[in-house]
Amino acid sequence: MSILEFEKPIVELEGKIKELKEFSKSENINLNGEIQELTKRLESLKKEIYGNLTPWQKVQIARHPHRPFTLDYIEMIMEDFIELHGDRFYGDDRALIAGLACIEERRIVIIGHQKGHNTQENINRNFGCAHPEGYRKALRVMKLAEKFKLPIVSLIDTPGAYPGIGAEERGQALAIATNIREMFSLRVPIIVCIIGEGGSGGALGIGVGDRVLMLENAYYSVISPEGCAAILWKDSSQAPLAAQALKLTAQDLLKLGIIDEIVPEPLGGAHKAPQQAALNLKEAILKNLELVSAVDLDTLLNRRYQKFKNIGFFKDKEKGYDGESLLKTDNFRTFERRS
């Protein structure tokens, strides 16, 4: 069982309740009052801890090995899943799933990153870090979706695209850039949801959509907190500070206009009650699919383009576009364009 550091007081109290119940049963002593009192204290402690998580603690929950992954959600909320393999150029990447499925009798194309629940599975799935053939496979299947007029659901859960030499030699950056470009012009509705880790270009490679959703304890960032800390402070142990500065939580990103909706999770994270987390995700997907499917395609594509175009603004000192009034709000990020 994987216990996070901040969860230890909860686990200790759960242990005491279990001991009391076993003692009560073995000695035939009525301790219901004491047990009920400790149970109330446990519920209060859970709400206090999980209701005030720091960004770094949310990153830890997003990386929990028992958290549901793409195939888990497919099994829990979709039917008739048929996985499609290969990019027709090099091979099949098991870190990225793509295929056909039904959700509430609605036919869709599903794509998503896939991690493993144990070491061997993670090795087979490359820890959810896709190679260029994974992104090419995703694009091939998305093109099929466009051909057969099927909406696309994309589930993001990756630390980032695989940065190895082989991946770079086979065109990792080009594969991701091509996906981003092509997803803007796909003439079908696209729903994106970050279900765990949303790391850098690895996430963006399947991250362009009409609606971008995010699970409550997921994170979405241009770099991992450890990577950011190593660059800024030459010390990866400063990751909690970096996580705070990166504004990578669902709550921060909703304020910044990067995502459109937060999907609630069970108390303590999706791994605590996977079925409930899956039902919440299913409800959000269906609701947003209905929302975007009601829009004609030309308008939908224009809105998709404008949605991403309007994230942030450029600061150009030479032309006087300083955006000083916007800097006072939480809804914009500043990008300084250097000549």
The span from the CA of 29 to the CA of 233, in Å, is 57
Residues 179 and 119 in one domain: yes
Q: What is the pLDDT of residue 28?
A: 79
Residues 11-54: pLDDT tens digits? Answer: 899 888 888 888 877 777 777 888 888 889 888 899 999 988 99
Identify whether the C-beta of residue 142 lies closer than 8 Å to the C-beta of residue 111.
yes
Structural tokens at position 209: 């959509």
Alpha carbons within 13 angstroms on the beta-carbon side of residue 32 total 1
- What is the predicted pLDDT for the residue at 324? 47
Distance CA 109, CA 87 (A): 16
Q: How far apart, in whole angstroms, are the C-alpha atoms of residue 285 and residue 279? A: 10
In a domain, 309, yes or no: no
In-domain check, residue 224 = yes
Residues 34, 154, single domain; the answer is no
Q: Across the 339 residues of the chain, what is the mean pLDDT of every consecutive 10-residue run?
A: 83 87 79 84 90 93 94 96 95 95 95 94 94 96 96 96 93 95 96 94 94 96 92 90 93 92 94 95 96 94 92 64 47 38
Q: Count of domains in the chain? A: 2
Residues 6+ apart with CB under 8 A from 318: 339
Continuous segment of H or E residues that includes residue 230: helix 225-232
Are 113 and 22 members of one domain?
no
Same domain flag for 39 and 153: no
- Main-chain dihedrals φ then ψ at residue 262, nearest 5 degrees: -100, 130
One domain for residues 203 and 71: yes
The H-or-E segment that residue 54 falls in is: none
Whether residue 225 contacts residue 236, with contact meaning beta carbons closer than 8 Å, is answered with no
Q: Is residue 280 part of a domain?
A: yes
CA atoms within 13 A on the CB side of 236: 4
Of 98, 192, 105, the C-alpha closest to 143 is 98
Contact 142, 108 (CB under 8 A): no
Find the helix packing angle between 8-27 and 32-50, rounded to 10°. 170
314: helix, coil or strand? strand
Instruction: Give a yes or no: residue 334 inside a domain.
Output: no
Identify whether residues 37 and 103 lie together within a single domain.
no
* 27 & 175 share domain: no
141 in the same domain as 183: yes
Q: Any idea which residue has 């509430």 for tokens? A: 104
> Phi-psi region for residue 164, left (φ > 0), alpha (ψ -120 to 50) or beta?
beta
Domain identity same for 75 and 121: yes
If one counts every other C-beta atom within 10 angstroms of the C-beta of residue 310, the result is: 10
- Phi first, then psi, for residue 150 (nearest 5°) are -110, 135
Domain's final residue, options 17, 32, 52? 52
Range(s) of the domain holding residue 126: 59-294
In a domain, residue 65? The reply is yes
For residues 11 and 118, membership in a common domain is answered with no
Look up residue 155 and give its amino acid: L
Flag whether 290 is in a domain. yes
Query: What is the C-alpha to C-alpha distance for residues 55 and 292, in angstroms, rounded to an integer?
Result: 31
CATH code for the domain in which residue 200 is found: 3.90.226.10
Q: Which helix (H) or strand (E) holds 214?
A: strand 211-215
* pLDDT value, residue 316: 61
One DSSP character per residue, 176-195 reads HHHHHHHHHH-SS-EEEEEE
Same domain for 119 and 135?
A: yes
Alpha-carbon distances of 89 from 46, 150, 302, 326, rounded to whole Å: 50, 24, 32, 46
Q: Is 138 found in the same domain as 282?
A: yes
Which of helix, strand or coil describes residue 103? strand
**Cα–Cα distance measured from residue 221 to residue 173, given in angstroms and rounded to the nearest whole number:** 17
Residue 118 three-state SS: coil
Whole-model pTM? 0.86
The 10s digit of each residue's pLDDT in 158-178 is 999 999 999 999 999 999 999
Residue 332 lies in a domain: no
**E strand or H helix at 35, and its extent?**
helix 32-50
Residues listed for the chain: 339
